[in-house]
Amino acid sequence: MYTDRFGTLVQKLRLLPSVGSKSAQRMALHLLMRQRTGALELAQALQEAIEHIHECSICHSLTEHEICDICQDTERDDGLLCVVESPADVFAIEQSGSFKGKYHVLHGHLSPLDGIGPEEVGIPYLVQRLSQGQIREVILATNATVEGQATAHYLVESCKHLPIKITRIAQGVPQGGELEYVDSHTLHQALTHRLPLNQSS
């Protein structure tokens, strides 16, 4: 029913995350019927991205150069290192504009059942980076999921021989969060780590 090349296109579009066969067919038809020039531009953008974008040799985020812009930035604090699970987290934190140190991107999180241990996640390389003595505080900003928490816990164990302050990003009620819809674990964290608002508290 499909032509060969249409079938191939649908199959390759399914490589995209969260794209099933129906969505892939819809995308293929949309490109062929309404975005033929755009489809060629997308093809070229894909080729150029794969050819030129790779991991930064220092922080493992994505860059088009040997070392990424953030690692090269001399105005950022070299003593403060934020550890995240993926380049997407670097983008998210940068968008918040609230961090002016450097980053270290792990390859995801520990997941022993999937055979993903400290080596696969790149923890030995991180510990080696921390051992060089330039960093005074490491902020663990892995996700607040079970795996992210386990990874943060493992990192604390791995770094406890180093003279470095280790912190974890705060957990609590998100901005705009209505208490009645916040899960009980989050509420527990928010109450346990409540902050003083006046002198005498």
Q: Between 5 and 188, whose beta carbon lies closer to a second copy?
A: 5
Task: Give the closest residue to 80 by CA, choosing from 52, 108, 59.
Answer: 59
Q: How many other C-beta atoms can be found within 10 angstroms of the C-beta atom of residue 122?
A: 16
Q: Cα separation of 154 and 151, whole Å?
A: 5
Shortest reach from residue 27's CB to a second copy, in Å = 5
Shortest reach from residue 150's CB to a second copy, in Å = 21
C-alpha distances in Å from residue 63, one per residue of 18, 56, 98, 122: 25, 6, 21, 18
Shortest reach from residue 160's CB to a second copy, in Å = 30
Q: Between 46 and 191, whose beta carbon lies closer to a second copy?
A: 46
- Torsion region of 106: left, alpha or beta (phi above 0 gives left; psi -120 to 50 gives alpha): beta
Residue 78, classed as helix, strand or coil, is strand
Q: Between 35 and 57, whose beta carbon lies closer to a second copy?
A: 35
The residue ranges that bind a second copy (CB under 8 A) are 1-6, 8-9, 11-13, 15-18, 23, 25-33, 35-36, 38-50, 52-53, 62-64, 69, 86-88, 91, 94-95
Could you tell me the two tokens for 6?
A: 């249409």
Q: Between 93 and 144, whose beta carbon lies closer to a second copy?
A: 93
Shortest reach from residue 67's CB to a second copy, in Å = 12
